Amino acid sequence: MKTNLNYAVFGLGRYGRAVAKELVDDGAEVLAVDSNEDVVNAASVELPYCKCADVTDPEVIKQLGISNMDVVVISMAGGLEASVMATMLCKEAGVKTVIVKCSSEMNCKILSKVGADQVVLPESESGIRLAKNLLSSGFMDIIELSRDVSMVELSVRPEWEGKTLIELSLRKKYGINVVAITQGKDVSTNINPEEPLSGTMKLIVIGNTAKLNKLK
């Protein structure tokens, strides 16, 4: 699967490298950066675009062309200060989405305040899952139930609005099963297949991962 977004990953420890590799394996172009040359050399075996650089330096951010990136994932081992500086520089460079790995809830709050668009705690979200979420355009979240089956939260498409699940026949067309419908904070598993869908609804569906990808 080819994505048109440009990604950068700062920090190539276990988490950052997992994010970068998953993105690359799914056809994305990824600029992978770490300040440790040995780490960069090891990662370059599976990541085509690896750079050894200090991303807390404004000049380096400019030289790397970070302003051209759509998403930057920051997963640095240099502590909170380095993550804060990299986050601020990315946002100043105009990066639309900056996602930062945190080591604690308090660090998450601090990084959110300095501009991080999303913060993640490694123990609650794996690097591979984050990468899959980034690649799953149109999916609000994706959970792998097995190697071939996933559950996703899917926005109601404009062409589906006003139609019922019976009319859409999603199971027949895409091989997916709608298990719940959310609207705002309300979640309903007692689904009326004859109720017209609205654009404010989201569908929780389960299906074959490959078939779900065709909905993107």
What is the predicted pLDDT for the residue at 1?
42
Q: Where are the beta strands (DSSP E) in the chain?
A: 6-10, 29-34, 49-52, 71-74, 97-101, 118-120, 139-144, 149-155, 176-183, 186-188, 201-208
Q: Residue 67 has what DSSP assignment? A: G
Distance, in Å, from the CA atom of 158 to the CA atom of 173, rounded to the nearest integer, reads 17
Report the b/e string of 63-81 with b at 16+ CB within 10 A.
Answer: ebebeebebbbbbbbbeee
Is residue 59 within 8 Å of residue 92, measured between CB atoms? no
Q: How far is CA 136 from the centre of its chain?
A: 7
Highest CATH level, class, for 139-213: alpha beta
Model confidence pLDDT, tens digit, residues 16-66: 998 999 899 888 899 999 999 999 999 999 999 999 999 999 999 999 999
* Sign of CA pseudo-dihedral 11, 17, 21, 23: negative
CATH topology of domain 6-135: Rossmann fold (3.40.50)
Distance CA 140, CA 59 (A): 35
Domain parsing of the chain, residue ranges: 6-135, 139-213
Residues of the chain with pLDDT under 50: 1-2, 124, 137-140
If phi > 0 it is left, if psi is from -120 to 50 it is alpha, else beta; for residue 16 that is: alpha
**Residue 126 half-sphere exposure, CB side, CA atoms within 13 Å?**
9
> What is the sign of the dihedral through the CA atoms of 56, 60, 62 and 65?
negative
Cα first-last separation, the chain: 10
Integer CA distances (angstroms), 74 to 10, 19, 98, 120, in order: 5, 10, 7, 10
The whole model's pTM is what?
0.61
Q: For residues 100 and 97, what is the distance between their CA atoms, to the nearest angstrom?
A: 10
Tokens of 29: 């172009």
Please give the Cα distance from 72 to 87 (Å, whole number): 9
CA distance 12 to 43: 7
